[in-house]
Structure formats: structure tokens, C-alpha cells
Amino acid sequence: MKPPPFDYVAPATLEAALETLAQYGDDAQPLAGGQSLAAMLALRVARPSVLVDLNRIPELTGIDDAADGLRVGAMTRQVAVLNSEKVRARLPSLAAATSLVGHFQTRNRGTIGGSVSLADPAAENPAFALAMNAEMELRNAKGSRKVAAVNFFDGPYTTARQGDELLTSITYRPSPGARIGVDEIARRPGDFAMTGFVARLNVKDGKIDEAGFAWFGMASQPLRAPSAEASLKGVALKDIDIRAVAHAAVDDTDPNDDHHASAEYRKKAGRVLAERVLTKLLMSEAA
Amino acid sequence: MSDHDISVTVNGARLKKRVPARKTLLDFIRQDCGLTGAHAGCEHGVCGACTVIVDGVAVRSCLMFAVQTDGAEVRTVEGLSPAAGDLHPVQAAMHEHHGLQCGFCTPGIVMTLTSMTENNATAAEMNAAMSGHICRCTGYQGIQKAISSLAGDVNNG
């Protein structure tokens, strides 16, 4: 057997899962869809004492289109997000981002919360949450807290989630009429992005009220592009210099060399990608 | 390191087995059930050769643990053929259009396509799902032809 030995529990309720985490702390590893974790176990880069399987906890699953936002339960599978009428109606760009995650077979198991909690620097859903200013709900046995996405991602594969906590839901609050787009450049469909870009443009009276940009694959964590965002504040849609904004957005990044692509390539491809995403957004009515 | 009693239906047969927590569904199917159609390729979720259908959806059996299938229904390539000597429509299409050469990746592809044809997927959707399977022999041309014929079959009712 390839994975290291571990104990396994499959609690039926969130309370029971949180009790288990309180008991084991950092020695416990929550198991969501397992599409990364099971591979990390096979490669023995993860060696938890106990796996806490969240797949039998119904309350962690589901999409709630509430007045104050679109709340997605952490254990909602990627395929469920893709097939959700609520997502399609309220935040179709979330489905667009999720369609870029892995393959058909892995999206059948993989979850939104699992991907966000893993915080792979090249993953789509963490960057999407970051661009959206999404709100993460974390719970432990004692209570819950809400963390803004900007405070959630701390570094490569590192988040604000403590060992006794679970990410229970992600709430997205798109402004009415916001234009949101996402795309990536990868060698093959389903591969991790060499560069990926999420752009959100909140528009008021034909001008940019607020821009939210997030990169993936362009640093050791999902990354906002604050100077590019600030440069758009108050600018009329028709006056936006897409090329300049794309360059500014890349200047906010610090990509790494790795075996997928060099930092230099990532910056060049990133400029092209950001131009592509922004052009599409400015040509569209609303996303 | 815990062991667990599970009750799982594999190709229609209800099995009760005791499994270590760390045993993957793939190892369980191959070693405990003696069904070697699901192939152990990369064993970390990249190649797709181990794809099986769990509760109606195609999944990578190397990325699930056997203990997680307690109460579930698992289908493997061995369960597809309606009778000895007969081929499932997906198998027949792969055969007809030369969708395989060495055959190592084939059981996984057949299981993905089976789950998708059962849900009336389009040819475009099925072709896109082939990104989740690595085939080093065919160049995918024969597989794509098989997919086209399957999509046609589905559309023709």
C-alpha cells in the first residue's frame, strides 16, 4: 500500500468532526474530495495520524442563494457547482473558474472547500475567492469566525485555518452588474496553470467603482494586484487602457521559475492573459 | 492505523470485507476483489487508468480509500458486459473504431465513457473528459471516432 498508515474516522455531523479535530489538532487531516490529499498521501508528502473524512456530513454540502450572498458549503463538489442553476444565475464566473479545475473525473469528487483550504498557488478557486473578496467561515468546537479571503491565504499551501478548525462555507457577494472573468494558460486542459487571472470590475454609472484582480500560478500564493486595481478607480469603461492595466497587473506579481515555466515566460504570458480577460469583460455587458 | 468493516456492492455483488484505512479503492478492487481490470498506472491521480464508477459517477479509484465506499455501489469494467462474449456499447465502439492498442488505459476510458453515455453527454463533453486519461498508443484518433459514434447512438435514441 502506498499511503503511510493512518487512522480513519468518518463523522456523520459537523459537531463530531470538530470534536475529533479538537482532540487531535494538527495530527488530524480533514479529508474533503481527496483529489490532492490522496495523491499527497500516495507520495508520502502528507503523513497525518488520523484522517477525518468529511464526506458523510450533509450539512457541509449545498449552495444557498441568500439575499446577502451566494453561500457555497465547503464540501460542495466541483461538479455540483458546474451544474448549479443558482451558480449559473448569480455567479456564472464561479462555474467558469471551476470548469478549469482538474478533469471531469476529479471534478466528480473534488470540492470547492477542499481546493480553497489546500491553497495551491496555481489553483483556480483560491484566486477566484480572493478576487471576489469572498468570506470564509471557519468553525471549531468552540465557535465560528469569518475571515476575508485577503486574510485567509498566508503563503504556499498555507491558510488562516487552524488545526482544530474546518472551513465550512465560502460566501461570494457579487455586486449587481459586476463584470467577472477568469482564464488561464496551461500546457494541456486540466494541468495546473502556468498563469491564471481573475478580474472583477464593479461598475457604477459607466465608471469603475472597484476592481478586484487575482493571479494564480504567479507567486507562491494566490495574489491580488493592488496597484493595477487602484489605477482603475473612477476610470470610465471607454477610457480603460487594457494594455497598460495588464502590464501593471503583472508588475504586481513575483512569479517563480519551475519545471512548468520560467518566471519570464509567466510574466509575458500573464500580460497576454490579462489583456484577453479584460478585453472580454469590456466587450461584454455583464458577467 | 485502523481497520474497518465495510459493506460494498461491486458489480452487483454485495461484499463484506475488512480493510485497512489506508487501502485505496484501487488496491481493494484488484487485491481483495480479484478484479484486475482497473489498472494501477500512476497511482496518484494523473493517468486515469484506474477510473471506476462509484454511485453513478466516474472517479479515480487511486484517489479514494476503500473504507470510503462503505454502503456504496462500485462498477468496474468487468461488470459492463451484459453476457459472456457480449460487449457493452462503449466496448463495442472502442473495438469497432480501433480505440485501443496496448489496452492499458482502456478500462479507465471505457468507464468514463460509460458513465457519460448513461447521462447523455455530448461528443464534445466526452472528448473534453479524455484530458483525464493518458493514452500513449492511439493518438486518441480512434477514441474520438468511438466517441462520435457513441454520441450519435445516444442522439438517435
ipTM of the complex, rounded to two decimals = 0.95
Model pTM score: 0.96
pLDDT digits (tens, 9 = 90+) for B6-18: 999 999 999 999 9
pLDDT tens digits for range A208-240: 999 999 999 999 999 999 999 999 999 999 999
Largest interatomic CA distance in chain A: 61
CA B40 to chain centre: 12
Q: With an 8 Å Cβ cutoff, are A42 and B62 in contact?
A: yes
Nearest-angstrom CA–CA distance, A214 and B114 = 38
**Contacts B67 to A, Cβ<8 Å:** 8, 10
What are the angstrom distances between the C-alpha of A43 and each of A25, A37, A158, B26, B65?
23, 10, 19, 16, 15
State the pLDDT confidence band at B156, using cuts at 50, 70 and 90. very low
Nearest Cα residue in chain A from B26: A1
Task: Please indicate whether, in this complex, the C-beta atoms of A1 and B24 are within 8 angstroms of each other.
Answer: yes
**B51 vs A contacts (CB less than 8 Å):** 105
The C-alpha atoms of residue A169 and residue A155 are separated, in whole angstroms, by 21
Report the alpha-carbon distance of residue B50 to residue A194 in Å, rounded: 27
Which chain A residues are Cβ-neighbours of B58 within 8 angstroms? 104-105, 108
Asked if A189's CB is within 8 angstroms of B58's CB, the reply is no
Judged by CB atoms closer than 8 Å, whether chains meet at A34 and B64 is answered as yes
Query: Searching chain A, which residue's CA lies closest to the CA of residue B3?
Result: A7
Percent pLDDT > 90 in chain A is 93
Provide the phi-psi class of A216: left if phi over 0, else alpha when psi is between -120 and 50, else beta: beta
- pLDDT averaged over every residue in chain A: 96
Number of other residues whose CB lies within 10 A of the CB of residue A116: 29
Q: Is B49 left (phi over 0), alpha (psi -120 to 50) or beta?
A: alpha
Instruction: Round to whole Å and give the CA distance between A201 and B91.
Output: 48
CB pairs under 8 A between A and B: 96
Could you tell me if A180 and A287 are in contact, meaning their C-beta atoms sit under 8 angstroms apart?
yes
Q: What confidence tens digit (pLDDT) does each residue in B72-85 have?
A: 999 999 999 988 88
